[in-house]
Amino acid sequence: MDKIKQAYAKRVNRINRVLSHVLPDRVPVVPAMREWFCHNAGLQTDYAMTRDWKSLYRSIEKTGQHIYFDAAVSLNMPGVCAEYEALKRGLSLEGSENALNESGPAGDRRESFTMGDEDYPLLAASPSAYLANEVFPAKYKEFLKGNKADAKRIYRAMKASYKKEKILYKTQNALKSNLGIPVIASGSLSLPADFLEGLRGRRNLFEDMTLRPDEFSAACEALCTLLLEDALSPFEENPADENRIIMIEMPFSSLLRPMDFARHALPYLKRTIESLYSAGCGVLLMLEGDWHNKRDILAELPGEKLIGFFEQADLSEYKRTPGIDMTLMGGMPGEVLARGSAADCLKCAEKCLDEYAPGGNYIFSTDGFLDSPQSAQAENLTAVCEFVKVNGKY
């Protein structure tokens, strides 16, 4: 086995041991750089996602020359091009460039198509049929006028979508083969409520949980199976894939009060996690916002192969909470990396090792994705990653 294969195997083993609650040789170092890879190399993310996979690969390679990391969290960056985002969201293609800002379409996640409250029974009866027969024709009506200008925009959007998937696949393979670096999340899925936000809009969805809770629950029951099947389908095509960790994002569900989360999100989250375990997958759970008042809920989750990636959180309170046995990830404040001194950053990194690492079940990372050039100073990130690599041994 050559050095690169050995390095890859060692890094994957380090992550898998933590995920399986077995003490690794040291704390894994996994800063959530994603877009920051591109910014650090002076590369625009839309260029990296739509042109040549080698550009994205080289940006990661360049970062690795002065910042140590055991793995990348995810390479799937939001946004590709204006036409792609418009097609994905059902917005008008004409003037689509003006409909987007730097982070994508403004406002909540509602698409141009809004599902009527009277459609809940149709969705619950057959989500796939409802999406095919009701949602897509209405969502894409702007694209079906038959003029050549729209046809060209649709072609560019679909081409960009295909190119993005190809770039992600090739970059991930090149990182493995050339640098010995794994990517943790090989896929993603949404919980039913988060998927519904795209159909109903955030305000409507909050009302639905109060005014029509039974219909809302029936739709979530039906969607849960469909979303799981979609997330697992790539592994059916490539069953030998050793990287089987699925990222679950909860942009809507994370906003719910504890009692609402327990009723409308927790049952589907537990079912999803257990189903992914049964399929041989681990789970990377994105915990955005404040989860302090939902610690008892987190304690109900099966933590055998679960990574909780906490945003802007002091992880010590979660480590002390009885029943929370997931692997904790995060802890390094992005605010300090962006504006603090090297001494400030090293003090925070030392806290991560002193308070979060004892006993294992911890992955050192930033407390959220570094999504802009201002998210971290390169020299600060270099310092903390090297500090944890050297001092995080068990």
Write the pLDDT tens digit of every residue in 276-312. 999 999 999 999 999 999 999 999 999 999 999 999 8
Is there a domain that residue 148 lies in? no
Is there a domain that residue 245 lies in? yes
| Pairing state between β 104-105 and 100-101 | antiparallel
Paired strand residues for 248: 189, 285
Is there a domain that residue 97 lies in? no
* Structure confidence at residue 80 (pLDDT): 55
Counted domains in the chain: 1
- CATH code, domain carrying 251: 3.20.20.210
Q: 213-237 and 202-211 are packed helices; what angle lies between their axes, rounded to 10 degrees? A: 120
Sign of CA dihedral 188, 189, 194, 199: positive
Is there a domain that residue 365 lies in? yes
- The dihedrals phi and psi of 330, each to the nearest 5 degrees, come to 130, -145
Cα-trace Rg, the chain: 21
* Structure confidence at residue 312 (pLDDT): 86
Point out the residues of the chain with pLDDT beneath 50.
Answer: 92-112
Residue type, 232: L
* Structure confidence at residue 95 (pLDDT): 42
CA distance 249 to 311: 12
Is there a domain that residue 74 lies in? yes
Q: pTM of the entire structure?
A: 0.89
Is there a domain that residue 134 lies in? no
Nearest to 75 by CA among 165, 158, 194: 165
CB 82, CB 153: distance < 8 Å: no
CA distance 248 to 187: 9
Domain that holds residue 45: 3-79+157-391
* Structure confidence at residue 235 (pLDDT): 72
Is there a domain that residue 111 lies in? no
Enclosing H/E stretch for 278: helix 266-278
* CB-count exposure of residue 191 (10 Å: 0-12, 13-18, 19+): buried
Cβ count within 10 A of residue 101? 8
Is there a domain that residue 146 lies in? no
Enclosing H/E stretch for 363: strand 362-366
